[in-house]
Structures are given as C-alpha cells and as structure tokens.
C-alpha cells in the first residue's frame, strides 16, 4: 500500500481514538456551543459575534538540539481542534478593536496525537512514547490584510495541555520530552482565509506549537512542532465581503466611537509609570535529575520581584527597562551536586540572581502580553550555568488587570528562558502600576 495511504489511515484511526478519549469533553463543549447558538438566534446582536471553527493539521516535531535529535527516531504528528469564535464588530463599545483590525477571539479544545513519535536512546531495546495530549486554550485571530474575499492574518493561542503518557523511569525512560501530566500550551500561526459563502470560510495556515511545563519538573525538553492546518469556519452572521463593507459598517457607528474616544485620550497620551510586581518562581534543577533519574525530582519555590520603569506612549504599547531579582535558595542544592560531580572550587555560588533587560508590553482592554530581553548582572549558580547557559535571558508573560482597580493591579505568569528555547522557570506574579 502507498505510504501516503498508510499515513491517512493512521491519522484516521488516531482521530477515532481521540474521539473516544475526549467524548465527555466534546459533549460538554457541544452543550455549551448549542446553548450559545440558541441564545444567539434569540438575540441578533449576539448572533452577529458568534462563530465556530474546526481544523486538522499535519506536523513534524522539530528537535531544538543535537541531544534531542539523537533521542527522536520518528517525527510525524497531527492535531485536531474545535473552537468557539467571538467576532468583534464596528459599533461595539471596544476602543481597542479598530487598532487590531476587529479581531476574533477564540476558546478551543485541541487534540495532539504524538503516538507516531518514537523515542529511543541505545542500548535500550524498546521505544518510549509521547502518547496524546488534550489542550484547552484561548486565543486571538487578527486579519492584518484584507482584499475582497481573501484575508491574511496571525493566530495566537495560550492554554494548558494534559498528556496521557509522560516520563517513567521503569516503563517510558526515553521520554525526556515531557515529564509531567500538565503542560503549558502555546501556539502561533500565519494564515490565509477565503470566504467561500456568506457564512463560511476556509483557512490554510502554517503553525508553530509548543508544549512544556516550564521546568517545574524534570525531564522537560518540550515539544516544538511545525505544521500546516486546514480549517473550516462558520459564522452565524453574514461576513463582510470586502474592506469597503467593513468601512461602511464602521461609519454607521463613527459618532458613537468619537464620543467614547474622549475617555481614552488620557491613556493615549505619553505617560510614565513604574511597574512593580512580586511572586514566586517554580523550578526544578537538572543536576538533581542527572544524578538519579529514577528518583522524584523536587520543585523549588523562590521569591521573585521585578521593577520596570515604563512609558505608555500609545493606547496599545508601552516600553521600558526591567530589573529582575530572584532569591534562589535552590543554589545550595546545585552546589551540593557539583561537589558530588567533582566540581568543588571551580565555580561561584550565590542565591541572589539579578538581571537588567529591555521590555515591551502590548495591551488589549484588561489583558496584556509582555516580552523582555535581559542580561544577568549576577548569576552564580554553578557548573551548568557556566558551561551551558548564556549570560542573556528572555522572558514572556501574560497578565490580567483587575477592572475595579482601574487596571492598576494585575495578576499573571511569566516563562523565563535561555537561548530562546530552553525554559529556566515559571513565575506567578501579582503587581501594580504606579
């Protein structure tokens, strides 16, 4: 039988497996979507915002290092997902939507089938497995270019995934990719969309997807995949056929937007503020896992704090500097393992980690996403830090500002990484803009 037919049959059977595996989740999602549909038909204004999307994807696991490349013996995987869509429209009381070209928000459930990926490191005589993952996520679709029935855009997603199979020293030892049941899910896509009928659209996209626990536990090399997706979307409201239709709809509500704009002008002006946040960093240490891969790896909690003088020079954007501090009490354990590995006296150790970086933050109503690039001012954490990590670090995070505080108080999480691919820790923070 031709290879492509064998692959199609494999993907079909994996899809049936996922259907059985997630029957309860799918039923609950169907109830929610049906309820939303009934409500939408009863209220035409709500119906104009609602849509649904299904998609399937073929992808390939991309090793981020020679170590991972030697471990992975086959790379093919696939995804399927179902999404509930909420279209923003001209006339909404949303002053951010026009700046984002009236984006579409989404809630979805994703199935990731990694069962064809084989993991093996000689001399073991069996293959370890990645299994399957179910992820729940939220996201946003932004059409940044539109021409009649065609549009180009990007799709950003963030959520949490749950694996059916993870690292086990006795039965699944070579699965160093995922070492926990739960993981953070991140997805990013570039797509082209074509409106085939007033309510229907087809979408073709190139996707990057990542699942990792942020090194809260070990092992955790993480899944990085590149692939292509085909999606079918349905909207309860007839979609605009051209940019001119969108502009005409926007003109109907221009007076309303102008009246509302006055309340936004203070934020739109250049404004200086100081971003203060504190919380906890969660991290496991590689030295402990390498010493005894069969033992339970500890998760260490450390106090973390940030001070960031920022300039909000646009309704959507703010930039500035970021000073980072971690009280890394786990360093004493790193020192102990370095001693056991005969590195005594070769490296310096300190629980106080300082860094300074440049930072940018993008806002949409009460939600913001920030990213920073920093350099360590003090990072004395032993052998692996000196030999395998860069003096530069990266941080990306998501926040929600509490509306009743006038968006001054926020909660959120950050992922800190090295070399744009290797997670260092996860941070959960609370803070204020002063």
Q: In the prediction, which pLDDT does 140 show?
A: 96
Q: Give the CA diameter of the chain.
A: 74
Question: CA-to-CA distance for 235 and 222, rounded, in angstroms?
Answer: 35
Q: CB atoms < 10 A from the CB of 250, how many? A: 15
**Angle (nearest 5°) at CA 191 between 49 and 15:** 85
Q: In the prediction, which pLDDT does 269 show?
A: 58
**Which residue matches tokens 């992922």?**
415
Task: Provide the residue count of the chain.
Answer: 434
Give pLDDT tens digits along the chain (434 positions). Answer: 554 444 444 444 444 444 444 444 444 444 444 444 444 344 457 888 999 999 999 999 999 888 999 999 999 999 999 999 999 988 888 889 999 999 999 999 999 999 999 999 888 888 999 999 999 999 999 999 998 899 999 999 999 999 999 999 999 999 999 999 999 999 999 999 999 999 999 999 999 999 999 999 999 999 999 999 999 999 998 876 544 454 445 444 444 444 444 444 334 557 999 999 999 999 999 999 999 999 999 999 999 999 999 999 999 999 999 999 999 999 999 999 999 999 988 899 999 999 999 999 999 999 999 999 999 999 999 999 999 888 999 999 999 999 999 999 999 999 999 988 788 999 999 999 99
Question: CA-to-CA distance for 185 and 129, rounded, in angstroms?
Answer: 19
Q: In the prediction, which pLDDT does 249 show?
A: 52
**φ/ψ of residue 188, rounded to 5:** -145, 135
CB distance 199 to 236 below 8 Å: yes
Residues 379-397, buried b or exposed e (16+ Cβ, 10 A)? bbbbbbbeeebeeebbbeb
CA distances from 384 to 33, 287, 331, 376 (A): 49, 8, 12, 15
Per the structure block, which two tokens stand in for 59? 């992808």
Per the structure block, which two tokens stand in for 371? 């990213």
Per-residue HEC secondary structure of the chain comes to CCHHHHHHHHHHHHHHHHHHHCHHHHHHHHHHHHHHHHHHHHCHHHHCCEEEEEEEEEEEECCCCHHHHHHECCCEEEEEEEEEEEECCCCCCCCCCHHHCCCEEEEEEEEEECCCCEECCCCCCCCEECCEEEEEEEEEEEEEEEECCEEEEEEEEEEEEEECCCCECCCECCCCCCCCCEEEEEEEEEEEEEEEECCEEEEEEEEEEEEECCCCCCCCCCEEEEEEEEEEEEECCCCCCCHHHHHHHHHHCHHHHHHHHCCCHHHHCCEEEEEEEEEEEEECCHHHHHHCCCCCCCCEEEEEEEEEEEEECCCCEEEEEEEEEEECCCHHHHHHHHHHCCCCCCCCECCEEEEEEEEEEEEECCEEEEEEEEEEEECCECHHHHHHCCCEEEEEEEEEECHHHCCCEEEEEEEEEECCCEEEEEEEEEEEEC
CA pseudo-torsion sign 346, 340, 355, 305: negative
Q: In the prediction, which pLDDT does 422 show?
A: 85
Question: Hey, which residues does 349 pair with through a beta bridge?
Answer: 381
């Amino acid at each position: 039988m031709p290879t492509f037919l064998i692959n199609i049959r494999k993907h079909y059977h994996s899809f049936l497996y996922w259907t059985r595996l997630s029957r309860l989740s799918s039923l609950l999602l169907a109830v929610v979507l049906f309820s939303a549909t009934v409500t939408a038909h009863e209220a035409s204004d709500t119906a104009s915002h609602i849509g649904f999307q299904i998609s399937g994807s073929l992808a390939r696991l991309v090793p981020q290092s020679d170590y991972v490349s030697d471990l992975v013996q086959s790379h093919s995987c696939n995804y399927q997902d179902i999404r509930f869509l909420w279209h923003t429209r001209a006339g909404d009381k949303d002053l951010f939507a026009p700046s984002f070209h009236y984006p579409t928000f989404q809630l979805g459930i994703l199935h990731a089938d990694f069962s064809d990926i084989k993991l093996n490191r000689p001399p073991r005589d069996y293959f370890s497995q990645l299994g399957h993952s179910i992820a729940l996520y939220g996201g946003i679709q932004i059409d940044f270019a539109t021409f009649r029935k065609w549009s180009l855009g990007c799709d950003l997603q963030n959520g949490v995934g749950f694996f059916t199979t993870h690292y086990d020293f006795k039965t699944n030892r070579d699965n160093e990719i995922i070492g926990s049941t739960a993981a953070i899910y991140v997805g990013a896509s570039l797509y082209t969309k074509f409106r085939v009928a007033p309510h229907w659209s087809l979408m073709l996209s190139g996707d990057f997807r990542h699942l990792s626990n942020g090194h809260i536990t070990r092992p955790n090399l993480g899944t990085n995949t590149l692939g292509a997706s085909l999606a079918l979307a349905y909207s309860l409201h007839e979609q605009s056929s051209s940019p001119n239709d969108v502009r005409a709809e926007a003109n109907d509500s221009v007076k309303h937007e102008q009246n509302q704009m006055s309340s936004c002008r203070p934020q739109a002006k250049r404004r200086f503020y100081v971003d203060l946040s504190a919380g906890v960093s969660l991290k496991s240490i590689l030295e402990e896992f390498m010493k005894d891969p069969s033992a339970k790896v500890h998760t260490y909690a450390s106090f973390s704090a940030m001070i960031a003088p920022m300039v909000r020079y646009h309704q959507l954007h703010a930039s500035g500097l970021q000073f980072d501090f971690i009280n890394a009490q786990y360093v004493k354990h790193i020192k102990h393992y370095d001693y056991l590995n005969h590195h005594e006296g070769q490296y310096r150790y300190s629980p106080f980690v300082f860094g300074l970086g440049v930072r940018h933050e993008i806002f949409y109503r009460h939600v913001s996403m920030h990213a920073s690039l920093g350099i360590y001012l003090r990072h004395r954490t032993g052998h692996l830090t000196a030999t395998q990590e860069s003096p530069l670090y990266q941080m990306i995070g998501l926040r929600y500002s509490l509306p009743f505080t006038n968006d001054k108080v926020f909660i959120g999480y950050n992922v800190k990484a090295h070399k744009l691919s290797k997670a260092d820790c996860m941070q959960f923070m609370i803070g204020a803009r002063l």
